[in-house]
Amino acid sequence: MDPAEAEQNPEEKEYSAVCVGKEADIKKSGRMTAVVHDREVVIFYHRGEYHAMDIRCYHSGGPLHLGEIEDFDGRPCIVCPWHKFKITLATGEGLYQSVNPRDPSSKPKWCSKGIKQRIHTVTVEKGHIYVTLSKEPFKCDSDFYATGQYKVIQSSS
């Protein structure tokens, strides 16, 4: 396969787990950033769980590592600092509020736009954090900012 083509199609690459730091450090800071196989990711430690996702927001490439974590509909989300889009930490779904137009007095409901941000796998071994990039065979909106011309970190090869 053409390497450029593989870069645009993450599901077609074989990725190994990459050590991104120490468990003790992320437990103190709550988050860290890393480059995993030339892809920028952010790793969050929230309520005893680890979550990794593409660092640039699926909407317009905002820096998710600078966002706040808040609960929406009982689901922890990163709130993008640029336009306040909400992304679930566990699944990468974009959440939005919807009002029934036939009943404007009803309470707005939280709804999902589906998976928009690519989520990666975090494992812990002997006090170190490892990230394995997602190979899920679907196009994710955040891929646009993680690959090609929007990718900030250039390959060293």
- Interface residues with ligand FES (CB under 6 A) are 57, 59-62, 80, 82-83, 85
Identify which of residues 41 and 129 has a Cβ nearer to ligand FES in the complex.
41
Identify which of residues 60 and 100 has a Cβ nearer to ligand FES in the complex.
60
The DSSP code for 106 is: S
Task: Give the shortest CB-24-to-ligand FES separation in angstroms.
Answer: 30
Joined together, the tokens standing for residue 60 give: 């317009």
Task: Give the shortest CB-126-to-ligand FES separation in angstroms.
Answer: 35
Taking only Cα atoms into account, the Rg of the chain, rounded to an integer number of angstroms, comes to: 17
Identify which of residues 57 and 140 has a Cβ nearer to ligand FES in the complex.
57
Concatenated DSSP letters of 75-104: EEEEEPTTT--EEETTT-EEEEEE--TT-T
Identify which of residues 62 and 92 has a Cβ nearer to ligand FES in the complex.
62
Q: Which long-range contacts (CB under 8 A, 24 or more apart) does 93-99 make?
A: 93/117, 94/58, 94/59
Task: Give the shortest CB-139-to-ligand FES separation in angstroms.
Answer: 18
